[in-house]
Amino acid sequence: MSEWVVVCLDSRDGEISASTLSWVRECQSRAQQAGYQTGALVIGPGSKERIEKLEGAGLSRIWRVQSEALESPLNAPHLQAIEQALRTIAPKAAVFPSSESSREMLGALASALDAPALPDLVSYSFTEEGAEGKRPVMASRFLARVSADGTPVLLSVRPGSSTAPPAGGPVPLPEPEIIEVKHPDRDRTARLLEQLMPDGQRTNLAEAEKIVAAGRGVRDPEGVQLIEELAGLLNASIGASRALTESGVFDPSLQIGQTGKVVSPRLYIAVGISGAIQHVAGMINSDFIVAINRDPDAPIFDIADIGLVGDLYKILPLLIEELKKRGGDG
């Protein structure tokens, strides 16, 4: 009998993008190294369309759970569905993309299934008894090598930490198998009052290739406009430090740092960000960091590849002008 590693793709975690796909491939290749087969558990509304995007991921089986109750973004129905599906599939390991939603899912499932959980891994492998991997601790100043034995072992793995090779030719998708789940009625349960989505940003910040991030130094609408213009010209996503999301200048979903999103773009431009340890924890894995700050002693310069010491209100307009010129040339 073959043993399974299951990647859990819940609708609460959003669409299946190119980076999700390479994340799934990575998992498939790690499972294969340990002698396991990989299947995907696709949960919630739009599961049919999301499954189509998994072509080429090298999956051997696909399980699909769709029920009306899963239209809700609340955790309870999703938790019930994943718990029941994992009991049915009985895998060696279940792997979740690391996100705000999967974090709480992992804890609740660990209790419900009496299974060990390793959250927020940046690298991992499967072992005979369970799994091991590395995760950042102490605001990403250190990496801890962690392991857990048990079945199933539950992992969440950060996106963007993938080095998966391209798939060897198209692999046909297996026919999805439907898993029926029950949603027991509870008299005392959480109720959704409203769902508030921020004005659409081009890309999910965690997957963005380029990010222009604004900090406390960006202090008025003029500064915000400069950030938006720069991001627009670079086709970059906008991020912010806690100071600017807390004061309401930017939407909380744009916060980068220990509390907010962890990002790993190719280019990160930190504007008016001093580089507090909590912020750095969220962006230290960027490929190339440019920092603009008036304070020559700002800690952001200790990690920046290029640091510009100066007034952002003078530097950004020049930067924007230069980019426009280049855009015009090309």
**Residue 206 binding another protein, by CB under 8 A:** yes
Question: Under a CB-based contact definition with an 8 Å cutoff, are residues 66 and 47 in contact?
Answer: yes
**Residue 258 binding another protein, by CB under 8 A:** yes
**Residue 222 binding another protein, by CB under 8 A:** no
Transcribe 295-314 into DSSP letters.
-TT-GGGGT-SEEEES-HHH
Nearer to another protein, 224 or 277 (CB): 277
Rounded distance between C-alpha atoms, residue 42 and residue 50, angstroms: 8
Interface stretch with another protein, choices 25-33, 87-95, 115-123, 177-185 (CB under 8 A)? 115-123
We find the least distance from the C-beta atom of residue 2 to another protein, in angstroms, to be 26
Q: Indicate the burial class of 200 (C-beta count within 10 angstroms; 0-12, 13-18, 19 or more).
A: exposed
Reading the block at residue 249, the tokens are 């200048």
Residue type, 150: G
Interface stretch with another protein, choices 26-34, 40-48, 72-80, 85-93 (CB under 8 A)? 72-80
We find the least distance from the C-beta atom of residue 249 to another protein, in angstroms, to be 14
We find the least distance from the C-beta atom of residue 75 to another protein, in angstroms, to be 7
Cα 281 to its chain centre, rounded Å, is 14
Q: Which helix (H) or strand (E) holds 111?
A: helix 100-113
We find the least distance from the C-beta atom of residue 176 to another protein, in angstroms, to be 25
**Residue 50 binding another protein, by CB under 8 A:** no
Nearer to another protein, 3 or 104 (CB): 104
Reading the block at residue 59, the tokens are 């999956």
- The DSSP symbol for 172 reads P
**Residue 287 binding another protein, by CB under 8 A:** yes
Question: Under a CB-based contact definition with an 8 Å cutoff, are residues 49 and 17 in contact?
Answer: no
- At 89, give phi and psi (nearest 5°): -75, -35
Q: Footprint of another protein on residues 137-156 (CB under 8 A)?
A: 137-148, 150
> Of 86, 67, 61, 10, whose CA–CA distance to 175 is shortest?
61
Nearer to another protein, 210 or 216 (CB): 210
Q: Residues, the chain, total?
A: 330
**Residue 234 binding another protein, by CB under 8 A:** yes
Query: Binding another protein by CB under 8 A: which of 255, 264, 274, 279?
Result: 255
Query: Binding another protein by CB under 8 A: which of 13, 64, 80, 157?
Result: 13
Nearer to another protein, 59 or 93 (CB): 93
Nearer to another protein, 222 or 287 (CB): 287
